A = this chain, B = another copy of it.
Amino acid sequence: MKVGVIGLGLIGGSMAIDLRRRGFADEVIGMDADSVNAEAALKIGLVSRMANFDTLVAESDLIVLAVPVNAAVRLLPMVLDKFHEIGESCRKIVIDVCSVKTQMAEVARYHSMRRRYVGTHPMAGTEYSGPWAAMSGMFDSTAAIICDSQESDIQAVKTVERLYDTLNMRVLHMNSDSHDIHCAYVSHLSHVTSFSLARTVLDKEKSEKHIFDLASGGFSSTARLAKSNADMWVPIFQQQAENLVPIIDEYIKKVQEFRDAIADYDEAKIRDMIVESNKIRRIIK
């Protein structure tokens, strides 16, 4: 099968490598709106050739939208329109890999070709971006979510399951709404805390030049996500505003509670909160 990847960054690029290498795709065709990225992707060999939008859609059996979610929301109806031109017999599939799913589901909902779209979210990545960050094996042993699969053709869902199986991912099914709330808690909130932590310490650095000399592994770990790319994250926060704002409010309350217990020298309260947090041990490595 021919796979067309639109957006050759960390996710799209890493997919291109392993889908080709592991035999899921006979050929991977690429496209990237950024000409520097496009050239790099070719040089690195993430794809065998680049094509424009029409050619990529015409020649691919499966199209991956691996672009920021604001671009994906625009591209998905364009791809489905192309499928519509082919007509009823079209067996092409389009997937996206965005970490917010509700708005994607929304723009596809009433399209005549809705059933050829499968919404997915491979839960893997690093804080780096661009074709240079792409690597083989990045998805191994992580989870891939398929959303609203009842809205897609069974054959299309099966093919996408096979795609993620090729990437050695564990597939979970979930509806878009529930996916977005879950991700607000266990992914998007972490980014808000990291961005804010980084800004707090960077602010202090303006007056205390050597503050980072003491930064330990703990700080690096909690602030690592603050390296994340704005082009990817601005549209995530926009589309997740409704879910995320009340969750940030809950989080602020928790920080405030901790702050008050410290200010009150309330040993018992601080201890209770730490012990409560320690339950995270059974969940994360």
Contacts and interface: CB of A to CB of B under 8 A. Distances in A.
Contact of A201 (B179, B185, B196, B256): B185
Interface residues of A, number: 93
B267 A259 contact: no
A277 interface: yes
A279 to B, nearest CB: 6
A275 B229 CA distance: 8
The SS class assigned to the A binding surface is helix
Nearest to A122: B216
A221 interface: yes
Nearest to A227: B281
Contacts of A220: 284-285
A204 to B, nearest CB: 5
Interface string A83-123: 00000000000000000000000000000000000000001
Interface of A: 123-127, 142-143, 145, 172, 179, 181-183, 185-187, 189-204, 208, 210-230, 233-234, 237-238, 240-241, 244-245, 247-252, 254-259, 261-263, 265, 267, 270-271, 273-281, 283-285
24 contacts: A124-B216, A125-B218, A126-B217, A172-B213, A182-B208, A186-B215, A189-B201, A191-B218, A192-B258, A195-B273, A199-B273, A212-B283, A218-B224, A222-B222, A229-B274, A230-B270, A234-B270, A237-B262, A238-B265, A241-B262, A241-B265, A245-B259, A251-B255, A252-B255
